[in-house]
């Protein structure tokens, strides 16, 4: 089964993405996180990772990168990590690449603080 990225939730401030499959890579682009009516505004577009939930089969692995920088390397088992009051902003103006070895599922909670067009909302969530 190929690795697929599915947008489960999109609001002006937040997106939730499920990535699942085996032995391939999926890319979550910043443009794919925009809601209807939002138009990402070039260099100002940022999307921060607020939390992760994952399940990885024995022998599997999930590697999350941005701009070639490894942000998370998740091994077998299931767990979650939630940032409380802050977010991971490393290379937040780049797409998120999720490489899965073996069978795995990942949920990404993403905030959209800048560049998605709705000035009344974009700075409410870091």
CB atoms within 10 A of CB 101: 16
Q: Does the residue 121 lie in any domain?
A: no
Question: What pTM was estimated for this model as a whole?
Answer: 0.89
Q: Residues 99-111: pLDDT tens digits?
A: 999 999 999 999 9
Total of domains in the chain: 1
> With contact defined as beta carbons under 8 Å apart, do 15 and 9 qualify?
yes
Q: Residues 10-68: pLDDT tens digits?
A: 998 999 999 999 999 999 999 999 988 787 766 688 999 999 999 999 999 999 999 99
Q: Does the residue 125 lie in any domain?
A: no
Q: Does the residue 52 lie in any domain?
A: yes
Q: Does the residue 83 lie in any domain?
A: yes
With CA atoms as reference, report the closest residue to 50 among 9, 109, 91: 109
Q: Identify the domain containing residue 52 by its residue range.
A: 4-114
End-to-end Cα spacing for the chain: 34
Q: Does the residue 124 lie in any domain?
A: no
Return the CATH number at 24.
Answer: 2.60.120
**DSSP reduced 3-state for 102:** strand
Q: Does the residue 76 lie in any domain?
A: yes
Beta pairing partners, 101:
61
């Amino acid at each position: 089964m190929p690795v697929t990225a599915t947008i489960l939730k999109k609001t002006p401030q937040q997106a939730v993405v499920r990535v699942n499959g085996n032995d391939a890579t999926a890319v979550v682009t910043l443009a794919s996180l925009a809601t209807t009516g939002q138009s990402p505004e070039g260099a100002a577009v940022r999307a921060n990772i607020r939390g992760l939930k994952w399940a990885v089969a024995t022998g599997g692995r999930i590697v999350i990168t941005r701009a070639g920088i490894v942000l998370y390397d998740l091994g077998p088992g299931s767990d979650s990590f939630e940032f409380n009051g802050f977010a991971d902003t490393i290379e937040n103006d780049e797409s998120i690449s999720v490489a899965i070895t073996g069978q795995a599922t990942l949920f990404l909670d993403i905030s959209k603080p800048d560049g998605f067009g709705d000035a009344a909302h974009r700075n409410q969530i870091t």
